[in-house]
């Protein structure tokens, strides 16, 4: 297969498996999505979705959020981890939203990146899922699969994002990044990987990745 044929195979397979795409984090608007994505850093979507209802019951907008103290926020979000940093970030960005943006979350990645505790990935998720603006947030699943499929060199997530944007049509980005995430979780995980279930990697995967898989599988038997 040529590189273009491999890309086309991956896209077609993902679209067949995920014709409709579940949204990983529960939210109702750009603000609650921003908070949920911030909380998801080094945590799981399942855990975040268990905690956000408790937080949003007290404050689901920046005006109510700043009425809570950093300590109060921290107590609620402790189960998701990194609560000292995240609670300060939530309180701080809520204050900035009120002071600079009349409580409205901006739809510009560069502006979002200026908020405390908001990095490029978080900003990209928000503009993509809340505003429908093409972006390609790269998480660990996408980074892993882009390497396994031979679409990126695995050097870092910055390079992986550049490669993804170069290989995939812009109008596919918002769906495709979610489809790859779900595929990575369900068919091509980092641990407990069963290549027989991973049709994309089995078909187009990087030779060194496939060789390592079979070598490790043989040695464990």
Q: How far is CA 114 from CA 15, 108, 122, 146, 203, in A?
A: 34, 10, 12, 28, 42
Which tokens hold the place of 46? 């399942």
Distance separating alpha carbons of residues 199 and 13, to the nearest angstrom: 9
Active-site residue list: 121, 139
Distance separating alpha carbons of residues 159 and 81, to the nearest angstrom: 28
> Any idea of the CA torsion for 133, 139, 145, 146, to the nearest 10 degrees?
60
Distance separating alpha carbons of residues 104 and 96, to the nearest angstrom: 10
CB count in 10 Å sphere of residue 196: 6
Distance separating alpha carbons of residues 39 and 33, to the nearest angstrom: 10
The DSSP secondary-structure symbol of 28 reads: S
Contacting residues for 58 by C-beta, under 8 A, at least 6 apart = 64, 68, 72, 76
């Amino acid at each position: 297969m040529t590189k273009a044929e491999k890309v086309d195979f991956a896209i077609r397979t993902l679209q067949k498996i995920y014709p409709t795409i579940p949204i990983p984090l529960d939210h109702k608007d750009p603000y609650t999505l921003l908070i949920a994505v911030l909380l998801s850093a080094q945590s799981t979507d399942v855990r975040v979705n268990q905690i956000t209802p408790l937080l949003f019951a007290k404050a689901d907008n920046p005006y109510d959020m700043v009425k809570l103290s950093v300590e109060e926020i921290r107590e609620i979000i402790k189960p998701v981890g990194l609560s000292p940093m995240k609670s300060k970030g939530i309180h701080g960005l809520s204050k900035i939203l009120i002071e600079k943006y009349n409580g409205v979350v901006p739809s510009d990645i560069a502006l979002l990146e200026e908020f405390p505790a908001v990095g490029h990935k978080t900003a990209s998720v928000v503009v993509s899922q809340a505003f429908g603006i093409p972006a390609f947030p790269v998480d660990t699943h996408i980074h892993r699969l882009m390497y396994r499929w031979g679409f990126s060199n695995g050097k870092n997530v910055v390079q992986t994002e550049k490669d993804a944007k170069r290989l995939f049509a812009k109008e596919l980005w918002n769906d495709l990044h979610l489809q790859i995430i779900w595929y990575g979780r369900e068919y091509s995980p980092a641990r407990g990987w069963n290549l027989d279930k991973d049709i994309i990697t089995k078909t187009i995967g990087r030779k060194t990745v496939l060789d390592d898989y079979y070598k490790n599988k043989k040695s464990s038997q």
